[in-house]
Amino acid sequence: MTKTKIRDTDLVTLSATIRFRETKLLTEDRIERMLEATRFEDAAKQLEECGYPDLSGYDVFGIEDALSRRRAEIYDELSKTETARPIVNLFRLKFDYHNVKTLVKSMGANEDATRILSESGCVGATELTEAFISGERAELPESLRTAISEGVSTLSRTSNPQLSDVTADRLYYRELSATAAATKNATVIGYVKLLIDGANLRTFVRSARTKKTREFLTGALFDGGNASKKEILELEYTGEGVLTVFREPQLYEAVKLVPQTLGGGTQTEFEREIDNAATRYTESVKLAPFGAAVVLRYLLSLDWEMTAVRMILSGHIAGVAAKTIRERLREAYV
């Protein structure tokens, strides 16, 4: 039977491997060399020292495929350590549900969306697509079968892709919570609770800015965070009292920006600070020798790296100036 409980001492060997892998992650210096490269091919070759294949002959779709394959390979390798598998799955689930949402919406729009599916989930994109189209879904995890059926039902009933996304997202966060709870590891459980808090804070602000009804907000919030749905629903759309509801210190910088964002300010900084909360959560364990937090931090860093690679190389292909790409990176991550 597969273990789900995670003790930090079970991750000593893998943590040592990850510490070595961290030395191969994209550095600020290498990012600058990629940005300043005069040719796309020269920028792409900078990545070979980080373990990437030669991407110099790829177009945008080829780059996306290569990044997806590399991510999947790393996930597979880390998952060989049984105790780490649930942590890796927390990251893989995001891609499973992305694929489900994409397939459901492509059905509604009568479009072929297979090129934007990811191979980084727990279930391969080809397997998921075939099951979605054929209706033969018995081999899929029950959670994904439910996400497909409820997503299709919601879209058919409402013709609203946003509502079908919310349906899938609710199941996604429910599965994240169940996966984390099964580990009985406080670091993993706390990480997922923070993710749900961030999602709910983002939903509250977006709903307030667009003057969504309370009924909509009730259906769009997710269970399982540190801040209860009841507390969030009692907040005024002015944002007054938001600091007393979203109390996790890692979200403080985002929460501070709520009044300004609701007052008509840009959402860019607010959204960035929500994304930064997960990194802050693992910041205190930078020097920890081993444990779940080491695995979490590496996987978050890998996500950041691949997004940066995509932005830089796509920018080079499109002929975007280095200054503009750098600013987009700064807006997203710095």
pTM for this one?
0.90
Q: Would the pLDDT of 60 be above 60?
A: yes
At 53, give phi and psi (nearest 5°): -70, 170
Contacts of 276 (CB under 8 A, 6+ apart): 253, 254
* Tokens coding 271: 């959204």
User: pLDDT at position 334, please?
Assistant: 41
Give tens-digit pLDDT for 245-303: 999 999 999 999 999 999 988 888 899 899 889 888 988 666 678 999 999 999 999 99
Q: Give the separation between CA 184 and CA 204, rounded to whole angstroms.
A: 29
H or E segment to which residue 217 belongs: helix 214-220
Contacts 24+ apart (CB under 8 A), 17-22: 18/78, 18/294, 18/295, 18/298, 19/294, 21/298, 22/298, 22/301
Q: Give the separation between CA 20 and CA 15, rounded to whole angstroms.
A: 9
Q: Would the pLDDT of 111 be above 90?
A: no
Selection from 222, 210, 112, 85 nearest residue 167 by Cα: 222
Give tens-digit pLDDT for 208-246: 999 999 999 999 999 999 999 999 999 999 999 999 999
User: pLDDT at position 4, please?
Assistant: 78
User: pLDDT at position 1, please?
Assistant: 40
Give tens-digit pLDDT for 128-185: 999 999 999 999 999 999 999 999 999 999 999 988 999 999 999 999 999 999 999 9
205 with 267: CB under 8 angstroms?
Answer: yes
* Tokens coding 6: 């995670």
User: pLDDT at position 331, please?
Assistant: 52
At residue 257, the 3 state secondary structure works out as: coil
* Tokens coding 103: 């397939």
Contacts of 222 (CB under 8 A, 6+ apart): 169, 170, 173, 174, 196, 199, 200, 229
Q: Give the separation between CA 186 and CA 247, rounded to whole angstroms.
A: 18
103 with 112: CB under 8 angstroms?
Answer: no
Domains of the chain, by residue range, sit at 186-279
User: pLDDT at position 84, please?
Assistant: 96
191 with 281: CB under 8 angstroms?
Answer: yes
